[in-house]
Amino acid sequence: MINAHLSEFAGLPVFEYTSTKEMSSKEPRYGSVDPLAQLAALRAPDAYAWRLGVDSYEPEEEFAEYFGDFVKAADTTAVRAMVIGPAGSSESEEPGTPARDALLEHAAAFPALRALFIGDIVVEESEISWIHQPDLSPLFAAFPNLAEFTVRGTGDPYMHETSQLGLDIGRHDALRSLTVQSGGLPAPVARGIDSAEAPGLERLELWLGVEDYRGDTTPEDLARTLSGEAFPNLNHLGLRNAEESDVWVRALADAPVVGRLRSLDLSMGTLTDEGARVLLDAPVFRELGRLDLEHHYMSEEMEGRVRNAFTEAGVDVRVGDRQVPNGDRLYPSVTE
């Protein structure tokens, strides 16, 4: 999932833009596109999710210059989806800021933008917990028609001790899907999401991560979400990659929002037999259409009980990728 760049986003194939400067370079980046292929793609800008990113180690041009080149080359009024990769050296003071600032500067040029992915950065470029994102809150006001938003990375606690991702969404009527992929979700980020007024939101996916990488979000930080107050149309909730899956299961057992969901995703986490017993004992979970528990620490016997019970109840349950504990600490799927 984070080992390769996106090939599809928002139902569209991803096309990586090569700037005019790089096209004319004697040593273009590996994999740079054929000029004729790019020219053909530019004739149909609404047919692709455009990937924009510079070299994360030694960028030959500033992201602002590169982004501006795309704005000049493409009919941006037809662009429906964008994928943002590295926006500069990962060792710079604010590696994610140039992308945010370029998007804000040129927001008016993208009236048709409906889907945005920020942080399409793979492990060869940066560990997920080292991907630093700044305060992205202003993007929601700048793009009022945005229906799908995904961000990877929340902040590097070692290089950027006082700065981290911001997602104070405020009021946003168009947003339907929100995903935050992280090695650790800070509580202030979770509270910013929880306080949003996004009445149309249908899908929310949060990678909770580990405390070592600022993953200190608790159920209390998502109180409005779990009560059902925050997002009245929510039908899919993902609380993935959690270091404390059992804690979240106990909170969900009494959460009114679960009764509204069609699908619940607790995959990539640390669910044990203790949490599994809560799943089995609380009738509300058997009303789901789909339950994903892949990558867990249940015993083989409990895995079988869960599979049988939920299958019998008509739930599409996923319980593969059973992990065997190695030591006292249980690790979620995506961490260092």
**Residues 224-238 pLDDT 10s:** 999 999 999 999 999
Pairing type for strands 49-52 and 81-84 reads parallel
Distance CA 163, CA 31 (A): 33
Residues 6+ apart with CB under 8 A from 123: 2, 3
User: Which of 8, 60, 13, 63 lies closest to 41, judged by CA?
Assistant: 13
E strand map for 31-144:
49-52, 81-84, 115-118
Q: Give the pLDDT of residue 196.
A: 98
Q: Enter the DSSP assignment of 265.
A: E
- Residue 15, classified by CB atoms within 10 Å of its CB into exposed (0-12), middle (13-18) or buried (19+), is buried
**Residues 60-100 pLDDT 10s:** 689 999 999 999 999 999 999 999 999 976 666 677 899 99
Q: Give the pLDDT of residue 218.
A: 98
Where does the pLDDT of residue 28 fall: very low under 50, low under 70, confident under 90, or very high at 90 and above? low
Q: Does the CA dihedral 130-183-96-188 come out positive or negative? A: negative
CA angle 203, 208, 214 (to 5 degrees): 135
**Residues 267-278 pLDDT 10s:** 999 999 999 999
Q: Which amino acid is at 319?
A: V
Q: Is the pLDDT of residue 130 over 90?
A: no
Distance CA 316, CA 7 (A): 27
Domain ranges of the chain: 1-126
Contact 210, 185 (CB under 8 A): no
- Residue 296, classified by CB atoms within 10 Å of its CB into exposed (0-12), middle (13-18) or buried (19+), is buried
Q: Is the pLDDT of residue 162 over 60?
A: no
**Residues 193-205 pLDDT 10s:** 999 999 999 999 9
Q: Is the pLDDT of residue 284 over 90?
A: yes
Distance CA 226, CA 216 (A): 17
Contact 185, 166 (CB under 8 A): no
Q: Give the pLDDT of residue 141.
A: 97
Q: Note the maximum CA span of the chain.
A: 65
E strand map for 86-234:
115-118, 148-152, 177-181, 203-209
